[in-house]
Amino acid sequence: MIKEISGSDSIIYCLDPRVKIIIAILFSVMVAVSDRFLVLISALILNLFIIITARVPIKEVFKRLIPVNTLLIFLWLFLPFTFAGEDLFSIGSLTGTREGVLFAFRITIKSNAIMLMLIALAASTPIFTIGHAMHQLGMPEKLVHLFFFTYRYLHVIHKEYIRLVNSMKIRGFKPKTDLHTYKSYAHLIGMLLVRGFDRGQRVHNAMICRGFSGKFYSLSNFSISRADVIALILMAGFILMLVILEWTQTT
C-alpha cells in the first residue's frame, strides 16, 4: 500500500498539503510542455534536491521509478528507429535517427522528473490528507471520491485477482501463446470486472445505510504558515524562470 515514507521532521513533510499539490501541478505542467534540455535537466536536479530535503530513502525512490522506466525501455527500442531525421547509427537493417534519440531522451527526463515530484508529494503526505487537500482546493467531489476509493480498494481488487489466478492454476491452467490462453485471460479480466462491480454495489449500499450523504469530513484543519508562503514563492519563481528560459529559446 502507498504510504508516506519521508522523515516526519523534514521541511517538505511540514508544508501544507494544498501548497504541495499546487507546486506539483504547476511543475508537472511546466515540465510536460518544455523541450529544452537545459530546462528539463534543471527541473530534474531540482527534483533530486526536493527528494533529499524530504528525506525519502533512495531505495524507495528507485523502487517507484522502476515501473516508469520499464515502459521507457520499450520506448527506446522503437522510437529511435521510427522517428524521421538524420541517421545516427544502424543495427542490421534498422537505422536510428538523431532526432528519434533526442526525442526519447526528452521523454525519459520528463517522465522521471514528474514522477520524482509525485514521489516527493506522496512520500511526505498521508494519502487521505492529499484527498482532503484536493477537496479544499475546489477540485470536483467526484474526482476526490474516485481518488479515495481507488486507493482504498486497489489492494482488494489485487487480492481478488490473485485468488482467481490461483484458482486457474489449481485447475491445471498453464499460460501459452495459443487461443485457449487468450480466452482464459479474457474470462479472468471479465470476472474481475464483474466481481469489482458487485463489490462496489455492496460498498455503496453499506455506506448509504450508514448515512453517507456524498461528502467526506476531515478532523484536521489546514492552515497556511510563513514556511508555506516562502516555499510557494520560491517554487513559483523557479518555475517562472524555467518558463522564461523555455519561451526565450522558442521565440
Q: What DSSP state is assigned to residue 44?
A: H
Residue 207's SS3 state is helix
Q: What is the pLDDT along the chain (251 residues), one digit of tens a residue?
A: 444 555 556 777 788 888 889 999 999 999 999 888 899 999 999 888 888 888 888 888 888 889 889 999 988 888 888 888 788 888 878 788 888 889 899 999 999 999 988 888 877 788 788 888 888 888 888 888 888 888 888 888 888 899 999 998 898 888 888 888 899 999 999 999 998 888 888 988 888 898 887 777 776 677 888 888 998 899 999 999 988 888 886 55
120 and 240 share a domain? yes
Three cell numbers written together for 92: 542490421
CB 92 within 8 A of CB 111: no
Asked if the structure places residue 5 within a domain, the reply is no
Note down the domain range covering 114: 11-125+221-250
Neighbours of 249 (CB within 10 A): 12
CB 224 within 8 A of CB 156: no
Per-residue CA distances from 227 to 16, 34, 151 (Å): 9, 29, 29
114 and 159 share a domain? no
175 and 228 share a domain? no
Asked if the structure places residue 4 within a domain, the reply is no
107 and 19 share a domain? yes
Asked if the structure places residue 135 within a domain, the reply is no
38 and 60 share a domain? yes
Residue 107: its pLDDT value, please? 92
121 and 228 share a domain? yes
150 and 111 share a domain? no
Asked if the structure places residue 84 within a domain, the reply is yes
How much of the chain is helix, strand and coil, in % rounded to 5?
Answer: 75, 5, 25
Q: Which residue has the cell 471520491?
A: 145
Q: What is the DSSP string of 94-114?
A: EEEEHHHHHHHHHHHHHHHHH
Asked if the structure places residue 235 within a domain, the reply is yes
204 and 246 share a domain? no
Mean of pLDDT over the chain: 84
pLDDT tens-digit readout, 169-200: 898 888 888 888 899 999 999 999 998 888 88
Asked if the structure places residue 146 within a domain, the reply is yes
- Tell me which H or E stretch contains 17: helix 17-33
Three cell numbers written together for 41: 535537466
114 and 149 share a domain? no
119 and 17 share a domain? yes
Give the list of residues 6+ apart from residue 224 with CB closer than 8 angstroms, or none: 16, 18, 19
Neighbours of 58 (CB within 10 A): 9
Asked if the structure places residue 3 within a domain, the reply is no
Residue 1: its pLDDT value, please? 42
Closest CA to 23 of 173, 229, 246, 248: 229
Sign of torsion over alpha carbons 28, 29, 35, 40: negative
Residue 25's SS3 state is helix
Asked if the structure places residue 131 within a domain, the reply is no
Residue 194 CA to residue 197 CA, distance in Å, equals 5
Three cell numbers written together for 118: 509525485
